[in-house]
Amino acid sequence: MNRCQTRTRRDAGFTLIELMIVVGIIGILAGLMTGAIGYVQDSARRNECLNNLRQWGGAMSMYLDEHRSRTFPTYETTIASDTAWFNVLPPYLEKTANTMSYKDMAAQGRPIPHPGEGSKGIFLCPSDDTSADDMDQNAYYSSYTMNTWVNDESNTKPRSARLRDSQLKFPSAFVVMSETCHGEQGGVDLSTLVDEETGDSSFRHNKSINLLFADGHAATHAQSAIWQSGTARETNMGDLQWNPNKDLKNQNL
């Protein structure tokens, strides 16, 4: 009877190998959970960023409808500009503290949105982790900016230097606004999506980027599909159009 009881107590315990296996399994599960949580968080930030661009798209559509010239806003960085997108589009958004134009912010002594812990707003992508330590909080900054081709002297007939929506052949493919890796600089084009000297990238969503198109829709695109190292500014890649003077897939109009 005592022998059976002794054997039962030993059989009920764990060996060192069994404990190591259990710990290993727990470690693997913890790793999988961490990866899954990170993916969900990144997806949430990407969707919030995409929603920002959709709101800008809605504002731009109303802006174009209201102006007979139907001319796109400019991408300059002068806070007081009367044509820059960050001043002409906010009036078409729901009025909140986060949708005030930069011109109004400056007039009221409010700081311009800059990235940082807890920073949110329609001008900032939640995945924009650019260091704001050395930035002037009253100077221009945005995670988004206009395509430089919306206002460029290189635009050719029948297009004016400052584009009008009626001059676009492919409004659903023409990129009018994009995320940018240099939020303190105005304007972006295909060649500046990645700063190959510093490694800074506009593809901040797991090597993908959110873009707004001239027809008002916004979408996420993978880096591998729309950009490659050494891409020229005048080039169009894939099914997207940055340069309105060239057809899709680098074919001249």
Asked whether the predicted pLDDT for residue 75 surpasses 50, the reply is: yes
Cβ atoms of residues 233 and 250 within 8 Å: no
Higher pLDDT, 161 or 19: 161
* Phi, then psi, of 57 in degrees rounded to 5: -65, -40
Asked whether the predicted pLDDT for residue 253 surpasses 70, the reply is: no
In the block, residue with structure tokens 């009025």 = 95
If pLDDT is split at 50, 70 and 90, which confidence band does 191 have? very high
What is the arithmetic mean of pLDDT over 71-87? 96
pLDDT of residue 12: 59
Cβ atoms of residues 211 and 218 within 8 Å: yes
pLDDT of residue 98: 84
Among residues of the chain, what percentage have pLDDT more than 70? 88
Distance CA 168, CA 163 (A): 8
Whole-number Cα distances in Å, 79 to 53, 112, 131, 163, 193: 20, 9, 21, 21, 23
What is the arithmetic mean of pLDDT over 27-50? 77
Total domains, the chain: 1
pLDDT of residue 35: 59
What does the CA dihedral 138, 147, 52, 90 come to, rounded to 10 degrees?
A: 60
Distance CA 183, CA 217 (A): 22
What is the arithmetic mean of pLDDT over 118-145? 89
Cβ atoms of residues 69 and 88 within 8 Å: no
pLDDT of residue 135: 86
Q: Of the spans 68-72, 89-93, 132-136, 157-161, which averages the highest pLDDT?
A: 89-93
Higher pLDDT, 82 or 98: 82
Question: Domain range for residue 189?
Answer: 2-250
Q: Of the spans 36-45, 68-77, 110-119, which averages the highest pLDDT?
A: 68-77
What is the arithmetic mean of pLDDT over 11-40? 72
* HEC secondary structure over the chain: CHHHHHHHHHHHCCCHHHHHHHHHHHHHHHHHHHHHHHHHHHHHHHHHHHHHHHHHHHHHHHHHHHCCCCECCECCCCCCCCCEHHHHCHHHCCCCHHHCCHHHHHHCCCCCCCCCCCCCCCCCCCCCCCCCCCCCCCCCCCCEEEEHHHECCCCCCCCCCECEHHHCCCCCCEEEEEECCCCCCCCECHHHCECCCCCCECCCCCCEEEEEECCCCEEEEEHHHHCCCCCCCCCCCCCCECCCCECHHHCEC
What is the arithmetic mean of pLDDT over 127-154? 92
Mean pLDDT taken over the chain: 88
pLDDT of residue 250: 47
Span 192-249, pLDDT tens digits: 999 989 999 999 999 999 999 999 999 999 999 999 998 899 989 888 999 999 888 6
Asked whether the predicted pLDDT for residue 51 surpasses 50, the reply is: yes
